[in-house]
Amino acid sequence: MNVGAHVSISGSRVSSDEETPPFDDIRNAVHRQVAFGGNCGQLFTASPRVWAEPAIDETAAEGFRAETEEQLEGPWVIHSAYLVNLCTPKDDLRAKSVSSLQADLDAADALGVPYVNVHLGAHTGAGVEGGLDNAAGVIDGLEIPDGVQLLIESDAGSGTKLGGEFAHLAGIIERTETDIGICIDTAHTLVAGNNLTTPAAVDETVARFDEEVGLEYLEYIHLNDSKHDVGTHKDEHALIGEGYIGEDGMRAIVNHPDLRDLPFALETPTEDGKGFAWNIAKVKELRES
C-alpha cells in the first residue's frame, strides 16, 4: 500500500560550502516520511503562502533522489503554492501563477518527482466557462518536463472556486492539449456534495467520477476525513475515521478496487496527541489484504 503524509522540508543542514547560508533542506522530507511510517507523500518546495520559488541545493537534490529510491516505495507529489490561481482573469495574478507553477515543475524534474499538484483556483467573476478557458490557457503555456505530470486537485467548491464539481475536472481535461491528471481530495469531494460515508456511497461516487471524468485520469488521492458534512463546502480536515466520512467510508475508499492501488497522501491535522504517524497507522489498519 502506498500511503504517506504531507511533510515539511523546513530545517537547516550544514552545507559543504561554508560560504553558503543555511537553507531548508529537501532531504528532510524523506527522513520525516520514514519516521511517520509513510512510503510516499507530498511536500511544498517553498512556503505556500507567499510568492517564493524553490531554493534547492544541488547536493540536497541529489541526496533527495538517492534517499527516496533507497527508503520509499511510492511516488512523491509537489503541492503548488496556495496563491496560484489558474482561472483568474487578472493578468498580473496569472503571470505570478505561471512563474510559481513553472518553478515547481522544474523542481520536480530536478528532484525526480513525477507529479505537481495544483488547484484550479477561483474565476472571480469570469464565470465557470471563462475560468476553465483561462486555466487551460495557463496550463498549455507551461513547459512541463518529460517525466513530470501536472495534476488538478478537486476542490471543496466554495465561492467562485472551480474544481468542486466533476464537470469542472472534465472541462479542464477537454480544454487543454496537455497530458494532465487528477488528484482527488476525499474531504473536498465530500463537502462538495459527493457522499463517501458508506461502501455503497463510495461505489456510486467512484462510478460517477468514472462516467463524468474517467478513472484513467486519476493519479493520486489526498486521503482526508472531514469535519463537515456532505455539501457544506467547508474545507476543514479531520483525523482518519473520526470525521463525517468515518471509518466505514474510509475503509471503503482504501479498499475500493479502482482506488486501492493509487498513492494516498494525508493532510490530516494533529489533534489529541494524534499526528501523521497515528493517521498512517489507522489507514493501514483499515486496509484489507
Contact 7, 41 (CB under 8 A): yes
pLDDT at 137 over 80: yes
pLDDT band at 263 (very low <50, low <70, confident <90, very high): very high
Contact 220, 151 (CB under 8 A): yes
Element spanning 66, H or E: helix 58-71
Mean pLDDT, residues 253-272 taken together: 97
Under 8 Å CB-to-CB from 9, ≥6 apart: which residues? 24, 25, 26, 28, 29, 43, 44, 45
- Predicted confidence at residue 271, as pLDDT, reads 96
Mean pLDDT, residues 110-120 taken together: 98
Under 8 Å CB-to-CB from 247, ≥6 apart: which residues? 241, 286
- Predicted confidence at residue 8, as pLDDT, reads 92
Percent of the chain past pLDDT 70, that is, above it, reads: 96
pLDDT tens, position by position, 10-53: 875 533 343 443 446 899 999 999 999 999 999 999 999 899 98
Residue spans of the domains in the chain: they are 3-13+21-286
**Strand 115-119 versus strand 76-79 pairing type:** parallel
- CA 51 to chain centroid, in Å, comes to 19
- Predicted confidence at residue 11, as pLDDT, reads 76
Contact 152, 256 (CB under 8 A): no
Domain 3-13+21-286 part of CATH 3.20.20.150: yes
